[in-house]
Homo-oligomer: A and B are copies of this chain.
Amino acid sequence: MSVKLSGNIMRTDLQLADGRTISYYDQTSTERNKKDNRELSAQPGIGELRLDPLVNEWVAVASHRQHRVFLPPKELCPLCPSTTEKLTEIPDSNYEVVVFENRAPALTSPDTSWQLPEISGLDTPTADAAGRCEVISYTAKHEGSFAKLSTTQIRTVLEAWKDRTEQLSKLPFIAHVFPFENRGEEVGVTLHHPHGQIYAYSFIPTRIEKMLSAANAHYAKTKRVLLDDVIARELKDSVRIIAQNSEWIAYVPFAARYPFEIHVAPKKSVPDLAALSDLQSDTFPEIAKEVLLRLDGVFGIEMAYIAGWYQAPVLIGRDRMRLHWQIVSVRRQPGKLKYLSGSESGMGAFIMDLPPEQSAQQLKAVKI
């Protein structure tokens, strides 16, 4: 099945050997019909959601993931296209961007009768770990990184993120969609091939709950959208802005938590990726590339980072919570990482050694 998306990008959905869907996103017209010839056992069963009663937060317990692939050599990379000698997760011999469900997902499709239990402290029942965990491979080339993709390739990745947000939001058990990328072994990356992940949760994650609550409080007080006013402050202060174009702005936030933290937001705010206009979509690749090249340029090394899209939940807060992209790097100096230790991981209280204005200055000074 093929569907035409914005930017003249086509999506073609096929099935993998164990029944998972693989979606090819193509800017150049390509026939996608390669069959997955592997013999795959069925996917592992569904995990469980347990409530942590000390803070009333869900924890997903997924025991079957212990033995997943860990830094395989290039010859065994499951994200490279298949060859006659080696069958991978991608049956075709080439591709632009693909998305498929994780082979051992932490969150997966539940029974049709599934419902998220109401949180009632210690009495809260355990539930099947409903949700979706997808892998998005940015390019068929094993070497490289998001920053080194062409703007055309980044446009296709963006269209895939937009489409996944739209498709996953339609599933009845999905409450929130989070596309993200972990880059670098320092943040636990187990596959070097440039790729990201998309977690679609069946509950509102803690951080989104807090963002929603702050956005609601701001709206109640001012009748305005919080992110719009955050951007207005950044424009007024101007010292922390590191890049902008007609549609997008990139800045180190006033209260950054990580030594190098960059937020990228559309100037005209939208609730989620699916709501981006064609103009916003077409102007994203250049700023995305610039920002990540600046990050790699600070120390002249490929920076480890976690980059995540914060968007409005599927059903609530869509007029209050707005889309932005947060890129955080744990590297504070060439040989030194920032670790989330006692204060950060135990208390949620972040200590920042590098003033945001200084890291913004370092990012701006990079010649690209």
Question: Which A residues contact B (CB, under 8 angstroms)?
Answer: 50-63, 65-66, 70, 106, 120-122, 178, 180-182, 187-189, 197, 199, 201, 203, 205-208, 210-211, 213-214, 217-218, 221, 226-227, 229-230, 233, 253-257, 306, 308, 326, 328, 332-333, 336-343, 345-356, 358
Contact = CB atoms under 8 A, between A and B. Distances in A.
Contacts of A356: 61
Given A178-B347, A207-B347, 12 more contacts: A53-B226, A54-B230, A57-B348, A63-B358, A65-B353, A66-B354, A120-B221, A188-B337, A207-B348, A208-B347, A306-B342, A308-B347
Contacts of A342: 178, 180-182, 197, 199, 306, 308
Contact of A121 (B51, B205, B217): B217
A349 to B, nearest CB: 4
Contacts of A210: 55-57
Nearest to A181: B342
**DSSP majority for the A interface?**
mixed
Contacts of A350: 57, 59-60
A339 B188 contact: yes
Contacts of A205: 343, 347-349
A256 B61 CA distance: 9
A129 to B, nearest CB: 9
9 shortest interchain CB distances as A-B pairs: A188-B339, A206-B348, A180-B342, A205-B347, A52-B255, A50-B255, A308-B346, A205-B349, A55-B210
A60 B121 contact: no
A55 B180 contact: no
A269 to B, nearest CB: 13
B353 A63 contact: yes
Given A340-B340, A358-B63, A58 B206 contact: no
Contacts of A256: 59
A53 B332 CA distance: 23
25 contacts: A52-B253, A52-B255, A53-B230, A53-B255, A54-B211, A54-B253, A57-B210, A57-B350, A58-B349, A59-B351, A60-B349, A61-B356, A62-B353, A63-B358, A65-B353, A66-B332, A122-B233, A182-B341, A199-B342, A199-B343, A199-B347, A306-B341, A306-B345, A326-B346, A340-B340
Contacts of A306: 341-342, 345-346
Nearest to A230: B53
Nearest to A70: B336
A355 B47 CA distance: 10
Contact of A61 (B199, B332, B352): B352
Nearest to A218: B121
A51 to B, nearest CB: 6
Contact of A180 (B208, B217, B346): B346
Given A121-B217, A178-B343, A59 B188 contact: no
B206 A254 contact: no
A227 B340 CA distance: 26
B352 A54 contact: no
Contact of A50 (B121, B254, B343, B353): B254
Contacts of A122: 218, 226, 229-230, 233
B221 A121 contact: yes
B257 A59 contact: yes
Nearest to A339: B188
A195 to B, nearest CB: 12
Contacts of A208: 347
